[in-house]
Each structure stands twice: as structure tokens, then as C-alpha cells.
Amino acid sequence: MSWTDDRVELLKKMWGEGQSASQIAKELGGVTRNAVIGKVHRLGLSNRATASATAKPEPKAKATPKTEAKPKPAPKAAEPAAKAPADAAPKPLPARKQIIPAGQPLPPQPSANEISPEALAKVSEIEKKAKKLSLMELTERTCKWPVGDPATEDFWFCGLPVQQGKPYCEAHVGVAFQPMSSRRDRRR
């Protein structure tokens, strides 16, 4: 099915009349409700919630009030709130974590700053002795700790002998595998 000019005009007309996407899809034939919704969004047609709100005031303007409206009594659930002092401020909402849009750089992570200085000093000393292997030179017995930026030619892997059952040497294991309690405390 292709969106011909005639079909698009019919879609616009029916959408403006307030027909549902399902009704429009049925009338057009060969198109799903979701296809209609997608086309409406691509065409930039107005959201009917605002369009119908502007169309409804006309009948209300013609109607004349028969009797005066009596104020409704407040529900019982609202009474305790009425007893609160007038100058009391509403409770602030709990802070939410900021959502970072896709493609944006992440803010600095606190985990890099919380590694003990001793472990960092040990890593610094070990990296001076590292074998500086390429990816193709790594084996089961060589430390696979990456050093540098992979996009540059200065990138390499540690290459020192690994600790039993781990992918890294002793110094890099100390940085990579931290006790659960310290990780749990860091999140707070």
C-alpha cells in the first residue's frame, strides 16, 4: 500500500472529523491502525485532544443555566488537609536521577575516584613492567587489562601472568574485583 495524494487527503479529512485511527484504517483498506497513526505524526496533524477542546465550547455557550449551581461539600478525605496551617509548604518530591539523552557523554563516575591509592600505585608500578601486548598476542595466561584509548596506536594490554581463575594479573584484579560491601556503600 502506498500513500497516494487521494488517500492522504481522505486521512486528513477523517482525522479532522475526529474519526479514530482504526476507523480510518478500515475506511482506507490495506493499512493498519498503527500505519495511520504513523502517517498522522509524519504529516504533523494536530493532536485531537486540543482540537476537540476548542470545538466543545460552542454547545456550552448556547446552553442557558436553568438553576444556580450549589457548591458541593468537600469530601471527608480532604478535611484533615484543611486543618493544616495555611503557611505549611507542601513536602518536596524526592530527587530523581537525571536522565541523559542518547549520544550525550556521561558525567564523571565516582567509582574511579574511590579506588584505594595503594591499588592505583600498584597498578602504576605493574604497568611499567607490562609486556604491552596486542589483542592477537593475548592468551589464557596473559593479563587482558586494556591500557589507553583503543582508537589510538598507543593502545595495548598488560600481558603479565594472570592470577589463577581470573583474566587479569594480581594488580589489575585488585582494581577490577572489589569486595561487595565497598561497592554497595559507594551507591549510597
Q: What is the pLDDT of residue 129?
A: 84
Q: What is the pLDDT of residue 96?
A: 62
| Domain assignment of residue 162, given as a range | 113-187
* Residue 28, domain member (yes or no): yes
End residue of a domain, out of 59, 75, 90: 59
* Residue 35, domain member (yes or no): yes
* Residue 78, domain member (yes or no): no
Q: Which among 169, 110, 174 is positioned nearest to 145, based on CA atoms?
A: 169
Q: Distance between CA atoms of 184 and 171, rounded to whole angstroms? A: 22
* Residue 81, domain member (yes or no): no
* Residue 79, domain member (yes or no): no
CA dihedral 47, 52, 57, 58 (to 10 degrees): 120
Q: What is the pLDDT of residue 63?
A: 52
Q: Is 2 exposed, middle or buried (0-12, 13-18, 19+ CB in 10 A)?
A: exposed
Q: Which residues, at least 6 apart from 119, have a Cβ–Cβ distance to it below 8 Å?
A: 171, 174, 175
End residue of a domain, out of 59, 81, 96: 59
Q: What is the pLDDT of residue 124?
A: 80
* Residue 106, domain member (yes or no): no
Number of domains in the chain: 2
End residue of a domain, out of 42, 59, 76: 59
* Residuewise pLDDT in 10s, the chain (188 residues): 688 999 999 999 999 898 999 999 999 988 999 999 999 988 888 776 544 444 445 555 555 555 555 656 655 554 555 555 556 666 666 666 666 677 667 666 555 446 677 777 787 888 888 888 999 999 999 999 998 888 888 899 999 999 899 999 988 888 887 766 655 555 55
* Residue 14, domain member (yes or no): yes
Residues 117, 55 share a domain: no
Look up the pTM and report it.
0.36
Q: What is the pLDDT of residue 52?
A: 45
Q: What is the pLDDT of residue 113?
A: 45
* Residue 90, domain member (yes or no): no
